[in-house]
Chains A and B, each alone.
Chain A
Amino acid sequence: MAKKDLILRLGGEGGEGVISTGDFITSACAKAGLEVYTFKTFPAEVKGGYAMYQVRTSPDRIYNQGDTFDVLCAFNGEAFEVNKHLLKPGTAVVYDYPGGDFEPGELPEGVFGYAIPMTKTAKDMKSLRSKNMVALGALSAIFNISEESLKKVLTKKFQKKGEEILNFNLAAFDKGKELGLQHQKTDPWRVADPQGEKDVIIISGNEAVGMGALLGGLEFFAAYPITPATEVAKYVATHIPKLGGTLFQAEDEIASISMVVGGSYAGKRSMTSTSGPGLSLMSEMLGMASMSETPVMVVDVQRGGPATGLPTKHEQSDLFLAIHGTHGDAPRVVLSVEDVKDCIDMAVDALNIADELQVPVILLSDGSLAFSTQTVPAPKPENYTIVRRKEWDGQGTYQRYAMTEDLVSPMCAPGTPNGMHMATGLEHSESGAPKYSPDNHEMMQRKRFGKIKNVVNTYKPTEIDGEGEADLGIIAWGSTIGVVREAIGRLREEGYKVKGFYPKLMWPMPTEQYEAFAKTCKKILLPEVNFQGQLAHFVRAETTIRPISYTICGGFPFNPVQIVAKAKEVI
């Protein structure tokens, strides 16, 4: 199969325009009707440090960030050095030379090199800040990034700042283009031709969670900042006032989850967002929410741990915490997203399930999705169903924890006549009055756990990738799913019989679906980005499956090649 996609990596010092250049290319490709999947790493430092922005684009659907780059654009010596080992025969590199901060020396054999004097040209134009525009112009010329789309994007961005600034940037772009055109094109890499504008949005995982929450009828959000989750709150903070909702910042995560529990008790659809360290602080209140049957939604954008760990890096290591992190026995529902589209759709699901079952719902995302921007069909608000909590009908005496057929008791918000009641973390009778008898505690535990059991049947069934019998089944969760999809495609092309199983409902576990899948596979491989093999642990505990656990935890997601290699090794 001819490779239709192109992976372009930009590297340079944070603050030098690497990120904005990447954003311009991303928007331009999306505008040209191409699919885009970006991947970024930031330095933990506030200023400076090495920043990387990788754009993968194709006319076809893209599932992950790819193995490595086809084209590197090195804004400085550090970016060149960091990526030098990846300059394999056939790759191309555009670099700042002459006049930059380094001498690349001789390029590795078979690598296509394009020296572009980015810094020097910018200096000649008397504005170092135009360096990234020069680079952008050169990249556009050499790799067929639609000039028309790029200029539209630049115009949209800079017009606000005045005609003069816009024209200056366009001039720098043209200079870069000229420099690019001076080179004889020798490499095969080019961005696919424009496909015509599509009805898409281009959005990051974190923004998508915020957008999904708003589509899901969110009314109340209390926030505490933490990388890599903060943009969820930023997005919601910007837009929720437009919809008449409320967001404010709490003093810590214990407070933010407490406020959300209060907001939900008061009758509003409520959520908060955090990362692992914040989720740990929330664990006691999550137990309280389970016990008091208060609907709350928490997004956990996972990062490297433990403690401050690798704060800006990727990991999927909060599954233990998300599923069981609290005191006593306390039920909750845990969902996990695969990609940016899921961030939108499953934020709605999470809010719905929280309200429907009156439980805490934790939606897991991760560090690489947080900042990954992807093209997604523009969501249509009318396509989302909003399920609201069961409300008391005002008949008879109100019992907050009334036993019902589906074990979910009607709620009644403050202000409702005759509905006064106690919502409590103390064990209680149906009315909410304290009651500690052994029988009552067991009955109430059965109620609280019983009401969430059926989610495994009502939530969308776990997707199975492939049919019939296979030599290897791969179970993957979170953003690893996209990597596995591509790896499976490649393995099939090579004649291997492989299938995939992609759970999104992590807890309660749809164990029958796991078992049914495993029956069709000779072996099960379970790759995940954490040290302990957390999902593998639950699979062993909850099913008869004995997966081969494959874990990495270096702060980066898997690449398809890694999965392909491992699959071949274990098959």
Chain B
Amino acid sequence: MSGAAALHQVQMEPKEYKSEVSVVWCPGCGHHGILNGLYRALAEAGIDPTKLVNISGIGCSSRTPYFIKSYKMHTLHGRAGAVATGVQMARPDLAVVVTGGDGDGFAIGGGHMPHMARKNVNMTYVLFDNGIYGLTKGQYSPTSRPEMKGYTTPYGGPEDPMNPLMYMLTYGATYVAQAFAGKPKLCAELIKGALEHKGFAYVNIFSQCPSFNYLDTVEFYRDLVFEIPADHDPTDMTKAIALARRPNGKAPIGLLYTENKPTLDERVAEFVTRVGGGPDYDINKIINLSRP
């Protein structure tokens, strides 16, 4: 996230971050839990809703901004991160949050992910990982297991799933965490950390899709996850990678990695200082450079 101007500005209850639009997700969908975690995180981080911009692409998860009191933009499938980068770079004073799905972020939007991470764009990316395309009614996604028979994979998937945590660590995200929708308190804690982090913060959240993903049930996720031990040093990349690789086939939840380094907007703002730029600069000086 960003903008000190947006952080710890207000004292609001989680429910005060709810918009007047009613939530449209199916009963039992993990996205409800993540949304509750989000409300709590926003309240705990004291985010001023007026300075909050929530951007999404397309998908069930991408409906999230409708339910949150904030400025918001509902964009195109896969483009939320790039639009959010534009918002953040244009207005570093704002808090910028992307909410979206595994298909949105890693399939169609996969071209943008490495660059947001690598450039350390100062924002929070919450990825609702349900291992399925929910909105389009159950197709295989980049995080689906090959066993899964989906709408367009009647014989199961011919590919292995990606590992979002490995991906983000490798590309240089400066805050990498994972949670499970069944644990909204942990969701809230990790999203709050992401909001307070200066730089690109990625939170992967497992979310059951009872309507279309019959494999990755709540029970499956409960079995799959383990809490990262309290003695884990989140500044140690090697240990973070070891966790991300799922020791003994179990998925870690908690904060894997965090690092402090300059953000893209800080580095670009430096150019202005370097050339002595500002609102009083005389544009005629630029024009005169083109005289013969």
Contacts and interface: CB of A to CB of B under 8 A. Distances in A.
A258 B79 contact: yes
B278 A244 contact: yes
Given A262-B73, A262-B90, A242 B51 contact: no
A413 B94 CA distance: 11
Contacts of A414: 50-53, 71, 87, 91, 94
27 contacts: A28-B292, A201-B291, A201-B292, A211-B290, A214-B286, A222-B86, A241-B272, A242-B276, A242-B285, A244-B281, A247-B268, A250-B115, A251-B112, A258-B79, A258-B82, A259-B83, A262-B86, A262-B87, A270-B86, A270-B90, A375-B292, A378-B287, A378-B288, A414-B87, A416-B50, A422-B74, A426-B74
Contact of A434 (B66, B275, B286): B66
B40 interface: no
B272 A268 contact: no
A286 to B, nearest CB: 11
A153 interface: yes
A260 to B, nearest CB: 6
B230 interface: no
Contacts, number: 187
Contacts of B69: 420
Contacts of B86: 220, 222, 258-266, 270
Nearest to B66: A422
Interface residues of B, number: 54
Interface in B248-292: 264, 268, 271-272, 274-279, 281, 283-288, 290-292
A62 to B, nearest CB: 15
Contacts of A215: 283
A424 interface: yes
B84 interface: yes
A415 B74 contact: no
B72 to A, nearest CB: 5
Contacts of B285: 242
Nearest to A418: B50
Interface in A518-569: none
B21 A433 contact: yes
Interface in A209-251: 211, 214-215, 219-220, 222, 239, 241-244, 246-248, 250-251
Contacts of A201: 287, 290-292
A278 to B, nearest CB: 14
10 nearest CB pairs, A to B: A262-B86, A259-B86, A258-B82, A30-B292, A263-B90, A201-B290, A414-B71, A262-B83, A266-B90, A424-B74
B268 A248 contact: yes
Given A202-B292, A207-B290, A242-B286, A259 B277 contact: no
Given A378-B287, A378-B291, A268 B277 contact: no
Interface string B19-46: 0010000000000000000000000000
Contact of A220 (B66, B73, B90, B276): B90
Contact of B279 (A244, A292, A417, A434): A244
Contacts of B83: 258-259, 261-262, 265
Nearest to B85: A259
Contacts of A26: 292
Nearest to A265: B73
B109 to A, nearest CB: 9
B76 interface: yes
B124 to A, nearest CB: 15
Given A242-B277, A260-B86, A266 B94 contact: yes
B218 interface: no
A426 B58 CA distance: 10
B53 to A, nearest CB: 5
Contacts of A270: 86, 90
A270 B87 CA distance: 11
B217 interface: no
A288 interface: yes
A203 interface: yes
Interface in B114-128: 114-115
Contact of A251 (B21, B91, B115, B292): B115
A262 B277 contact: no
Contacts of B88: 262
A267 interface: yes
Contacts of A259: 82-83, 85-86, 89
Nearest to B113: A251
With most chain A CB atoms within 10 A of its CB, the pick from B70, B72, B73, B90 is: B90
A254 interface: yes
A336 interface: no
A508 to B, nearest CB: 25
A166 interface: no
Interface in A377-433: 378-379, 381, 413-426, 433
Given A242-B276, A244-B278, A426-B74, A266 B53 contact: yes
Contacts of B291: 200-202, 378
B48 to A, nearest CB: 9
Contacts of A434: 66
Contact of A420 (B71, B94, B274, B284): B71
B89 A263 contact: yes
A219 B277 CA distance: 13
Interface in B55-100: 55, 65-66, 69-76, 79, 82-91, 93-94
B82 A254 contact: yes
A240 to B, nearest CB: 8
A207 B290 CA distance: 9
A27 interface: yes
A414 B279 CA distance: 21
B268 A246 contact: yes
Contact of A285 (B79, B90, B91): B79
A252 interface: yes
- Most chain B CB inside 10 Å of its own CB: which residue of A267, A379, A422, A434: A422
Contacts of B290: 201-203, 207, 211
Contacts of A243: 277-279, 281, 283, 286
A284 interface: yes
A344 B283 CA distance: 14
A31 interface: yes
A211 B288 CA distance: 11
B134 interface: no
Given A262-B82, A288-B75, A420-B70, A220 B89 contact: yes
A125 interface: no
Contacts of B283: 214-215, 243, 381
A111 interface: no
Max chain A C-beta neighbours (<10 A), residue from B70, B75, B89: B75
